[in-house]
Structure 1
Amino acid sequence: MSLPKLHQEYEDDNELEEIPLDELPDTVTIVPSYADACEGSWDRASSQLTHDDESKVSVASKGSLTSKGPALDSRQPFTTHHSTHSPITVSRSATTTTTTSSSSSSPTFRNSSTSSSSYKTKISSPDRSTIKHYRSRRSFAGHEDISKEPAKEEEKFIIDETERKRVLRKADWHLLPFVSLLYLFSFLDRANIGNARIAGMEHDVELHGLRYNVVAAIFFIPYALCEVPSNICLKLMRPSRWIPSIMVAWGIVMTLMCLCHSYEGLIAGRFFLGLTEGGLFPGITFYLSLWYRRRDVAQRIAIFYSAATIAGAFGGILAFGISEMEGAGDLHGWQWIFCLEGLATVVVGFLSYFLMNDYPDSATFLTANEKEIMVQSLKQDSHGLAKEFRMTYVWQAVRDYKTYVQAGIQLGVVVPIYAISLFMPTIVREMGFRNADAQLLTIPPFVAGCITTVIAGHLSDKYNKRGPFIIICATVSLIGYIVLYTQTRTAPLYVGAVLAAMGVYPCAPVDIAWAGSTAGGDVRRGVTLGIVIGIANLGGLCSSFVYITPPRFHLGHGIMMGWLGLSILLSCFAMWDYNRLNKKKKEICTREGIDPSKNEEFRQMGNDSPLYRYTL
């Protein structure tokens, strides 16, 4: 006789587990919040489940379970839906052919054939603890015959959503201000070359012609090349050691740049600054993906990325104040900008060795119960995805065309972002403002960018969508550049600059979250993010050389419009492609009856697994 199969459907990722009833363990617990239905079929009128061999299973139901779907034969599933939030326990007795429930309201499944095994379902009262433990001698997902292997004990967890959100907020308060501070210093130190330029560096170091552009551009070559190796090192080492070390290293380089008195010295300083700083942004992005579920990470990346806009605004104020130290200690004002900002970075870097937590399961600010909530949330989000390091996963990321689609989207928005950070003071100055006023007038565009970045990240996570927000924000920025290109009066030009900044800044963190969600497994995700961010940061080379036609900068504004258009088109393609792949995966799972319990089989596949679903 072929008995029906039980299915378990997970709420978060719609993955399916199944096991034939004749292979059930002695005791199995099905948790309703993860298993909406146990599947089979019965005749509603007779309350009988009839198989091809004419054996029957009686079903006595008093409302606790409800059926759905037509009557099916023995090779098809039968469906019951549990109407409460209590666990359903399915037990097997090897000595009797008939079992009854412990309560009058509990339904009974009785196998009336000659089989020696019978089954019952019993509704038990729910445990009110945050995480409920259900043990069985064998995993519900197992397909092996329990008579052939020793019993294994496994736990299932139910996580209260309210409690999970509370723990998430606690993690936010401990992690996000800290990583935002790190990135603020990172962006401040790489972009202060623009503030130093109008604070007198251009004259003192004789940065005539394209010399300033070369100094700005040289940073991005080592910056881009070291990002993938850095993320691999982060995976192999502890984040609390690798990220602070990166920060201390670039802080030292930044401080020593105050000793530069020549064009060649500035080139060397910027090269080593890019080399030491390159691992921070992909490192923090990867680090956050180890703490948050895929659908929760975009707004967190947006919050820490908004530090870049704060750095742009804060950098203008800071540069304005520090430049007043002109002549102190025989240093120019722009040299003091490098010195003081570099020393502050070193101090924060050393503090990071003691303040940074590695992973949720070792976080000092979480209780044991809170750690378990974080860990189990991540496990449910990454069901069947590999976490150990293998070169196979590296090559999967390198060969995946989707990695380069996401890199193209990121490149299309990063080029304008770097152009704004490097040339906004110059663009504003060419509108007719004095140097000091230009420093201060760079603040509103960056503040506007900060606000829209946080809002877009929040909405992106709320609706679990990435592409639409990139398209909308990039379009706003495109309108800003059109205004900058076509207008001549100061007021419209300044409004265009604000629109350009407030539109483009949200695109980068949303796309980073999108790229991370297309890669299954920690290693593949880390390499994918490294490639995407590395390729995108090569766009800084373009940003450095296109604003060479003052005062209107038509060439630069026109090229920025082209890059934004590319990002919009690739976002549309990615949404279409991921939707196509999701439909294909769903069809495969339905047709083949894919079982997600066979995790090892799917680990090698990463996001190529038919169980993996892409975010649009």
Structure 2
Amino acid sequence: MSEKMDRNDVTIIEDDLKGPVDERIERVQIQGGVDRALERKMLWKLDCRILPLLAVMYLFNSIDKSNLGNAKTDGLDTDLDLVGNQYNLLLSLFYIPFVMTAPGMNMLTKKFGAKRVLPTSMIIFGCMAMLSAAVKNFGGLLTTRWFLGMAESGFYPGVIFYLTTFYRRSELASRLSVFYAASVVAGAFTGLIAYGVFQIKSHLRSLTVASGLVAMFLLPRSSATAYFLTSEEKELAYYRMATDSSTVVDAKFDFRKAITVFKTDRLWPVYMCIAFSLMVPQLSVQLFLPQIIGRLGYATVKTNLLTVAPNVVGSIVTVLVALSSDYTGDRALHLASCLAVTCIGFIVLAAIDTAKHIAVGYFCTFLITSGAFITSPLLTTWYNNNTPDENQRAILTPVLVALGNSMGLVSSNIFRAQDAPNYVPASIITACFAGVGVVITLSLGYYMKWDNARRNRAEGTNLKARDVFTADLINGQKDHTESTSWVIDVFYTGQRSRGGVADTSTKEGSREIHVEGLCFGGDPCHRCIRQGQACRFEQDRVSAQASQRRNGSEELGSYAGSSYPTDAAYREPNRAGRSTTLEARMERMEAMMEAFLSALPGMSHIASPRASAEPEEMGRDVADYQGDTSFETPLEAFNANLAPIKLQLGIPTRANRDSTSPISPERARRTTILSPSHPFKESLSSIRVGARNLPFPSPARYAEYIDFFFEDINPCHPGINEAEFRSRSEKLLKNDTVDRSDICFLALNYILFASADLLVDVQPATGKSRLPGWRWFLAANELAGKRKISGRGDICMIQLLMFESVYLMHADKPNAAYNAIGIACRLCFQLGLHQQSCWSADCTEYGAHMRQRLFWTVYFVDRRISLSCGRPYDMHDLDIAVEIPVWISDKDTYPDQPLPTPDVNTSANMYLECMVAFGKFAGEVWDRLFSAGAAKNTNIDEIVPILDAKIKHWLDNVLPTIPLLPVNGPPSRTHLRQQTLVYTRMNHLRLLLRRRIMISLAYDHNTGALCGSIAMDIVSKLKVHEPEAIESSSFRFHMATTLGGAILILATLLSRPLSSIGLRENQPLYAESFQEGVKMLHDLAINFPAARRVANDMEDIVKVVTSILNQQSLSSPENGFSNYIPANMDSLFPYTAIDFMQQDELPDELLGEYIDSTGDGVMQSVDLGYYNFQPTTNGYSVAWI
């Protein structure tokens, strides 16, 4: 990976981050995916360099272990004066140290590498084998067998683990079978050369030691560091392991994490039972095949020669069955079939008299070798495929191998001397073990397929194991929520937390998205259309809506050339599903983006936008810059959906408000830190990037931008360190040319300019106005798309994407914001920010602190945007193990200095800690009430009070312990805003819990009183900040969304007679608070896009409630109140479709299916299949506030 971190590096802006998945994966993806020709060449090198050497090593291992059987046929018991069951004791004693030391030996293999441990083990057991030639009695041979068992214990599981770091899951069985066939060939060799070996007094065993010494120099440590691979092949090898073998490639050994496999993997006892069942037949064949063939009555030499053919056939069948298993993607049926063949062979041997049926008896030896030898490679491949964590594999493999080999105690004692020569009891016992193995294996395979089908139905997908990105797997098998799936067909993998593997290939100069076995396109997707196939999404829209969502290009493109979104754009459903992996969503976005771009004329690569509202000189700058060959690099895969889009965005606006607005446009034009009128045109300078000049503010204007950002935006999204940023900015301004390494930092600056321009703009929008700051936004994406992945600056890219999402959210572009923050989350996972153990050892104290800050900022922004969009969030708490940052000020925090003393008066991290708690509560609200799995929950009435009590407890008991206000001195405006933000956001969640019952107008006294009290309290707390409604600040977005939620609840309380539930006396209070909230929302809507959209959404219900209040005196009796309420009152409320992630108008042909069955004005829905969401007559593209 990267070199050791330099403390002088700007850790947060440009950084080397050592994580589980690094730039090598990105480079493979950017270059068009896996080069199949290069992959075949690399596999050929691995097969030729590793497998033969391992096969030779295991050949000697097997000869040293199993030659005792051949020695017995040549008079071993006579030479050593063995009596009774001493021979069986020699065989049994070997497995006691084998079982005891195997786990420890394999942990050494993981810690120090197979390159060192395997050859060392081989040298030791070679020496023990040579010493066995010098023994003179039973005791001496018993001692050498004990130490031989210890030396050989870690060899076989170590080789298995070693191979899992070189080959994909679908390649492992065939490669392991080639290696394992060496032991079978060893059986043939021992039989062929046994007679000669025991007659020649030479040092043949010294070959084992010599082979170990040679292997120590020839074996590579890992595929990514193999000396015989080129740099491209090493990157490809790393990519293959990260995408289809391990969650973290070359992870450091962690014993505590390793042993968790016995807690998280509930199936390891089943694997153990299968291992017990198959190892008895296998070890019986390995140890006693000469004795079994000896039943035929031949002499010693011929008996040993007759063992050759069954072993050769067994080795051939081993390889063929493994190839079939990898090709078909099946483990269970192949394993069960082989066990069945072995079982039949031993049954026949027990049933016949081999002296009379020699041919049949000899044929049975072919059956038992054909079935017994392949079972071990299949089983070890199966559970290694299902354990993506390398640490857990390092402990699980030796434990299961050792426990399986403990069955040698059974095999070595069932072939008793008194049962010779037919060994009928031994054959019956062995057949029983094989039969039990068949039953257990088939049962496990059936369970896996059943559970996979169940979870696929719950998720609306049809994923296969090969579609899952192993770098995005977790083993949280305790969690059986419907929102996460077990992918169980070829292999039994753990929970998929994020990421479905997608391979890409280049075809005729255009990148074609191809996912083997899975399609992530639209409905129908463009790839299926090109291939002339029917898309499964078109055939199953339920799956499409559960597993797809709109991409950023649709959101941006839907406003091109118009000042207001069309009804069709609003009616487009929000396809979302928590089951969809982030990797899958990104592949779909890239595919849809390319289809979108290819449909535009003149956009063969990245064309300038049509009907662009930007000045022409900017377009020329961008075009010239893109033609600069010195910086021409591929677009980054994770940013491809944002970089090429340069379409006009109009601000959604309805008819102009009447002239009686409480705040006039003239009053709104006030002086701010930055001039609100066309901030580009004044003091605009330029900066040189490569051979071209790009627009850039003058130093004075730049200082204003940065001051505003750190005064207003960063305290609420503390993902950037101020002291370090300003230091880096000074260096940037001193140079007239931007270095390649500074491109990402320059792009981050541009997005900060865009955010500042949007927030300082306080002018009322017109129909032809464009988003303030959009020009900077485009420039940021141009630069981000130019940056080549080099292992540096990826932290800066996360910051860039996060603040892009904040800008788009403030600009009322929630779909695009959702996509941007989703990509940022994906990068966090790829860089390992979600696991502090991945990077804490390689970070300075400052670097660790800033990673914590950045990760948790992305976390709560993801939850907040997801909540605003009504879509599943990307960061799941089960994946996260990161500490909360300490309370220090970023004004005094520098990379090359120790962290300052915590300062609650100036730090923004107390607010961040509160927002982390908000994010966790928001995630739990989604999971328990609004996710696809929660939609089937019938205990919602019990869940709501529990969630509300948790939030209330936090507000009453935890929040007072977090000093949001300074201890010394008066609070600043930022402190007061943060306190209001925390309190009102938490209470907004409490209202959201009960929104369903409130908008149904079927609430009771307690629910109505509680929600009314919370809503009025929100309005009163925001009333303190009413002057900020017309000021330049990010607080306006929070005011707009929270006011919308409070107004909605107050509207429900003013839309029905309250006397029946005992709240009539509160009606004047509700009305006053409602009017105050509407007034503040109107003030915000004049000059803030997000507030304008909320006001438009609330327009119908506000008009109706205002009409009711005007016609009915609040002080008069309520007798005629119901006369003023429309019959379809509940259908006027916006944001009603929170159950199914939809906010949509029903198709016209289905409107008749909604009937007023009760006569009380409440619309009841019948079962309409997948149109199972609540009706609304004014649906918009955002489901919630």
TM norm. shorter chain > 0.5 = yes
What's 1:564 paired with? Answer: 434
What's 1:158 paired with? Answer: 33
CA distance in 2, matches of 1:604, 1:562: 34
Rg larger in structure: 2
What's 1:176 paired with? Answer: 51
CA distance in 1, matches of 2:61, 2:282: 15
Instruction: Name which of structure 1's ranges 436-445 and 281-290 shifts more when overlaid on structure 2.
Output: 436-445
What are the within-5 Å matches in structure 2 for residues 359-508 of structure 1? Answer: 359-382=222-245, 384=247, 387-399=251-263, 400-488=265-353, 489-508=357-376
What's 2:444 paired with? Answer: 574
What's 2:844 paired with? Answer: none
Shift of the 383–453 alpha-carbon distance from structure 1 to 2, 3 Å rule, reads closer
Q: CA deviation at 1:385?
A: 5.2
Deviation per CA, 1:76-130, whole angstroms, max 9, x where unpaired?
xxxxxxxxxxxxxxxxxxxxxxxxxxxxxxxxxxxxxxxxxxxxxxxxxxxxxx9
Shift of the 597–318 alpha-carbon distance from structure 1 to 2, 3 Å rule, reads closer
CA contact (8 A) 1:295 1:464 kept: yes
CA distance in 2, matches of 1:273, 1:133: 47
CA distance in 2, matches of 1:356, 1:476: 36
Aligned counterpart in structure 2 of residue 540 of structure 1, from 408, 411, 415: 408
Q: CA deviation at 1:163?
A: 2.7
What's 2:487 paired with? Answer: 613
1:516 and 2:379 matched: no
Q: CA deviation at 1:133?
A: 3.9
CA contact (8 A) 2:388 2:473 kept: no
Shift of the 204–378 alpha-carbon distance from structure 1 to 2, 3 Å rule, reads same
What's 2:1099 paired with? Answer: none
What's 2:665 paired with? Answer: none
Structure 2 counterpart SS, 1:295: helix
Q: CA deviation at 1:490?
A: 1.8
Q: CA deviation at 1:511?
A: 1.0
CA distance in 1, matches of 2:242, 2:485: 15
What are the within-5 Å matches in structure 2 for residues 24-173 of structure 1? Answer: 133=27, 158-173=33-48
Shift of the 200–482 alpha-carbon distance from structure 1 to 2, 3 Å rule, reads same
CA contact (8 A) 2:278 2:375 kept: yes
CA distance in 1, matches of 2:351, 2:345: 10
Shift of the 307–598 alpha-carbon distance from structure 1 to 2, 3 Å rule, reads closer
1:291 and 2:166 matched: yes
Q: CA deviation at 1:389?
A: 3.1
Amino acid at match of 2:107: I
Structure 1 counterpart SS, 2:421: coil
CA distance in 2, matches of 1:600, 1:165: 22
Q: CA deviation at 1:395?
A: 2.6
- Give the gaps of 5 or more residues in structure 2: 1-23, 462-466, 492-1185
Q: CA deviation at 1:227?
A: 1.6
Structure 1 counterpart SS, 2:148: helix
Deviation per CA, 1:473-497, whole angstroms, max 9, x where unpaired?
1111112112211111222111111
Structure 2 counterpart SS, 1:230: helix
Shift of the 607–470 alpha-carbon distance from structure 1 to 2, 3 Å rule, reads farther
Aligned counterpart in structure 1 of residue 148 of structure 2, from 273, 281, 286: 273
Q: CA deviation at 1:402?
A: 1.3
Q: What TM-score results when the alignment is normalised by the length of structure 2?
A: 0.37
Q: CA deviation at 1:590?
A: 5.7
What are the within-5 Å matches in structure 2 for residues 260-339 of structure 1? Answer: 260-325=135-200, 328=201
Aligned counterpart in structure 1 of residue 69 of structure 2, from 173, 194, 212: 194
CA distance in 1, matches of 2:472, 2:98: 37
Q: CA deviation at 1:132?
A: 8.6
Shift of the 201–373 alpha-carbon distance from structure 1 to 2, 3 Å rule, reads same
Amino acid at match of 1:613: V
Deviation per CA, 1:537-581, whole angstroms, max 9, x where unpaired?
001110100111111110110011011012111111211222234
What's 1:350 paired with? Answer: 213
- Give the gaps of 5 or more residues in structure 1: 1-129, 136-154, 329-335
Structure 1 counterpart SS, 2:33: strand
Shift of the 250–598 alpha-carbon distance from structure 1 to 2, 3 Å rule, reads closer
Shift of the 382–431 alpha-carbon distance from structure 1 to 2, 3 Å rule, reads closer
Identical counterparts, % of pairs: 27
Shift of the 563–504 alpha-carbon distance from structure 1 to 2, 3 Å rule, reads same
Shift of the 132–372 alpha-carbon distance from structure 1 to 2, 3 Å rule, reads same
Amino acid at match of 1:439: N
CA contact (8 A) 2:99 2:402 kept: yes
CA distance in 2, matches of 1:210, 1:253: 23
1:254 and 2:119 matched: no
Q: CA deviation at 1:178?
A: 0.9
Q: CA deviation at 1:411?
A: 2.2
CA distance in 1, matches of 2:28, 2:140: 65
Amino acid at match of 1:563: F
CA distance in 2, matches of 1:473, 1:238: 33
Shift of the 599–575 alpha-carbon distance from structure 1 to 2, 3 Å rule, reads closer
CA distance in 2, matches of 1:317, 1:604: 47
CA distance in 2, matches of 1:436, 1:597: 53
CA contact (8 A) 1:404 1:532 kept: no
CA distance in 2, matches of 1:205, 1:376: 56
CA distance in 2, matches of 1:357, 1:221: 31
CA contact (8 A) 1:320 1:440 kept: no
What's 2:560 paired with? Answer: none
Which structure: greater strand fraction?
A: 1
Deviation per CA, 1:450-481, whole angstroms, max 9, x where unpaired?
01000011111111111111111111111211
Shift of the 274–380 alpha-carbon distance from structure 1 to 2, 3 Å rule, reads same
What's 2:704 paired with? Answer: none
CA contact (8 A) 1:132 1:158 kept: no
Greater relative contact order: 1 or 2 (C-alpha under 8 angstroms, separation 6 or more)? 1
Amino acid at match of 2:282: I
Deviation per CA, 1:7-43, whole angstroms, max 9, x where unpaired?
xxxxxxxxxxxxxxxxxxxxxxxxxxxxxxxxxxxxx
Q: CA deviation at 1:413?
A: 1.7
1:550 and 2:452 matched: no
Q: CA deviation at 1:186?
A: 0.8
CA distance in 2, matches of 1:352, 1:390: 27
CA contact (8 A) 1:314 1:443 kept: yes
CA contact (8 A) 1:403 1:531 kept: no
CA contact (8 A) 2:244 2:471 kept: no
